Amino acid sequence: MYSRIAGTGHYVPERILTNAELEKIVDTTDEWIRSRSGIEQRHIAADDQTTASLAIEAAKRAIEAAGITPGDIDFLVVGTTTPDLVFPNVGTIVQEALGIHGCAAFSVEAACSGFIYALSIADKFVTSGESKNALVIGAETLSRITDWTDRSTCVLFGDGAGAVVLQPSTEQGIISTHLHADGQYKDLLYAPAGVSKRPQGDLNKEFAIHMQGNEAFKLAVKTLGAVVKETLEANSLDHDALDWLVPHQANKRIIEATAKRLGMPMEKVILTVAKYGNTSAASVPMALDVAVRDGRIKRGDLLLAEAFGGGFTWGSALIRF
């Protein structure tokens, strides 16, 4: 028994923030942002939008694509690091908005790896027979924890959501998932204000993402290289077998390094970082849905999805679409 992706969806808020606009806010240039990160623009949630409201729209599209109704969903998990509230969790807010009652609904906090973690959990519930229609979402409003005076971080992030519906299948679907974390790198990428830990000072600044970009970059390249190797070896596969790499979209140069490690040409890599920036847990399901809807990813294709983020957390999923 496998769990198989029955439908995908994504949603981004209307407001687009261009590099040219950022040039007016901080000491940066379009050229620097493009050449260092590959980002050209990002979408920013409206004041009345939250992580849950983006997740709801992505979920509706995934449910429609799966050919089911919200009432069929019997398991709901959201990967996010920017929840609307301390509680109720984002999963239950999405659940209520979709008119679903009674099934498990919760969120998983693993920064940019949140969707891969959520997918791995949902896969276990589907393959064990406990869920027939699992809704798995990655959703973020990183703009709410961005210091808009810090040029080293504010140019990188964006808001959005992506979702998939998993169903049981005798045909291959999620073939394997590989999750990892190592807390010793917590100081390289973090948002210091929480619930039981509240730093003193300017909360707008203290709440925001702090990142030692260059160190995070080097570890991301090394770690993602290792996890894609682990995934192929665990399945006795050569990189030639892969049809698509669906990577976390933090930086085009990190993605290029992973593709090189896999010996994959960039034509086989789904890239959305230019349009959406780094949307953390939302980036993998957003990229997946973009490529499914534009016809690049087809039924039967073999995909390798991977992500790396604060913690550090990282992980991968080998998927027969």
Interface segment toward ligand ACO; rule CB under 6 A; list 124-132, 152-160, 236-244, 282-290: 152-160
Beta carbon nearer to ligand ACO, 88 or 213: 213
177 is a site residue for ligand ACO (CB under 6 A):
no
Q: How far is the CB of 151 from ligand ACO (least distance, A)?
A: 4
Contact 286, 279 (CB under 8 A): yes
Is 112 marked active-site? yes
Q: Does 280 bind ligand ACO (CB under 6 A)?
A: yes
Answer yes or no whether residue 278 interacts with ligand ACO by CB under 6 A. Answer: yes
94 in Cβ contact with 65 (< 8 Å) = no
Bridge-based pairing of strands 189-190 and 210-211 is: antiparallel
Q: Using CB under 6 A as the criterion, what x/- string covers residues 100-139 for binding ligand ACO?
A: -----------xx---------------------------
Minimum CB separation of residue 29 from ligand ACO in Å reads 6
285 near 115, Cβ under 8 Å? yes
Task: Please say if 180 is a catalytic residue.
Answer: no
Q: Are 133 and 7 in contact (CB under 8 A)?
A: no
**85: DSSP letter:** S
- Please give the Cα distance from 43 to 16 (Å, whole number): 4
Q: Single out the residue of 55, 62, 227, 250 in contact with ligand ACO (rule: CB under 6 A).
A: 250
The dihedral built from the CA positions of residue 198, 202, 205 and 210, taken in this order, carries a sign that is negative
Q: Are 19 and 41 in contact (CB under 8 A)?
A: yes
Longest Cα pair distance anywhere in the chain, in angstroms? 55
The binder of ligand ACO chosen from 15, 96, 152, 256 (CB under 6 A): 152
The active-site residue, picked from 10, 19, 89, 112, is 112
Please give the residues from 187 up to 206 whose contact with ligand ACO meets the rule CB under 6 A.
Answer: 189
C-alpha–C-alpha distance, residues 279 and 51, integer Å = 11
Task: Give me the least distance between CB of 24 and ligand ACO, in Å please.
Answer: 13
Least Å distance between CB 107 and ligand ACO? 16
**Residue 251 contacts ligand ACO per CB under 6 A:** yes
Query: Would you say 210 or 239 has its CB closer to ligand ACO?
Result: 210
Question: Rounded to the nearest 10 degrees, what angle do helices 283-293 and 51-66 cross at?
Answer: 40
Query: Given the rule CB under 6 A, which of 2-10, 33-41, 54-62, 86-94 is the region that contacts ligand ACO?
Result: 33-41
8 Å CB contact between 281 and 83:
no
248 is a catalytic site residue: yes
Tell me which of 10, 43, 178, 248 is the catalytic residue: 248
CB of 137 closer than 8 Å to CB of 78: yes
Inter-CA distances, 221 with 216, 227, 310, Å = 9, 10, 14
**DSSP label of 167:** E
Q: Which residues ranging from 295 to 314 are in contact with ligand ACO (CB under 6 A)?
A: 308-310
Write out the catalytic residue numbers: 112, 248, 278
What is the contact surface with ligand ACO in residues (CB under 6 A)? 28, 32-33, 36-37, 111-112, 151-152, 155-156, 189, 213-214, 216-217, 220, 250-251, 254, 278, 280, 308-310
